[in-house]
């Protein structure tokens, strides 16, 4: 039994190290729909080494882009950051591939790189600086019908479907 009364809140932001904050902010805007969050602009403008805060959901969840420096060398995060989007946005993303976004291996991301996680569908990708991301959609049946079957996509599987079937029993 837990003894703490504390409960963690929602995800606020994730620190991402990049060689050039402005260039990175542009890439995230162009490819993933992120925008600068003006409320936090003073950190980037007024504090040496301060982050550029960007968001794709109006500032509810953000990436904090820190410019690599001598004191904070370029070190891509290796744990990955996962985002969840609705089915329509997920299908639009999938149909736009390849579009300049690479998979974790550095090769262009393609529609067939979709991962079937039995409960959701996902794309794993990396930004140009090696930071890892995952894009998830939990509207499983809609993606199956409107993307997988409609486009003849062959998804990637990390484990046999039987494992999930057994879990559901």
Element (H, E) at 30: helix 21-32
Residue 64 CA to residue 56 CA, distance in Å, equals 12
pLDDT for the residue 92: 95
**According to the CATH classification, is domain 10-75 in 3.10.180.10?**
yes
pLDDT for the residue 80: 83
Cα angle vertex 140, ends 138, 141, to 5°?
Answer: 145
Using CB atoms within 10 Å of the CB of residue 60, give its burial: 0 to 12 exposed, 13 to 18 middle, 19+ buried. exposed
Domain edges within the chain: 10-75, 76-169
pLDDT in tens, 6-32: 466 778 899 898 999 999 999 999 999
Using CB atoms within 10 Å of the CB of residue 30, give its burial: 0 to 12 exposed, 13 to 18 middle, 19+ buried. exposed
Quick check: 74 and 68 in contact, CB under 8 A? Answer: yes
Residue 22 CA to residue 98 CA, distance in Å, equals 24
Short-list 86, 85, 12, 95, CA closest to 51 = 12
Quick check: 14 and 34 in contact, CB under 8 A? Answer: no
Quick check: 64 and 53 in contact, CB under 8 A? Answer: yes
pLDDT < 50 positions in the chain = 6
């Amino acid at each position: 039994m837990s003894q703490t009364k504390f409960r963690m809140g929602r995800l606020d932001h994730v620190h991402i190290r990049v060689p050039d904050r402005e260039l990175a902010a542009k890439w995230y805007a162009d490819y993933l729909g992120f925008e600068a969050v003006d409320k936090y602009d003073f950190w980037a403008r007024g504090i040496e080494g301060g982050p550029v805060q960007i968001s794709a959901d109006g500032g509810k969840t953000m990436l904090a882009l820190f410019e690599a420096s001598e004191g904070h060398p370029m070190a891509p995060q290796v744990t990955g950051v996962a985002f969840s989007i609705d089915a329509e946005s997920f299908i639009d993303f999938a149909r736009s591939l390849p579009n300049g976004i690479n998979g974790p291996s550095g090769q262009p991301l393609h529609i067939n790189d979709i991962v079937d996680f039995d409960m959701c569908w996902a794309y794993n990708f990396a930004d140009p600086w090696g930071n890892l991301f995952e894009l998830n959609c939990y509207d499983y049946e809609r993606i199956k019908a409107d993307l997988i079957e409609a486009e003849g996509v062959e998804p990637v599987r990390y484990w046999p479907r039987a494992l999930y079937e057994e879990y559901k029993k």
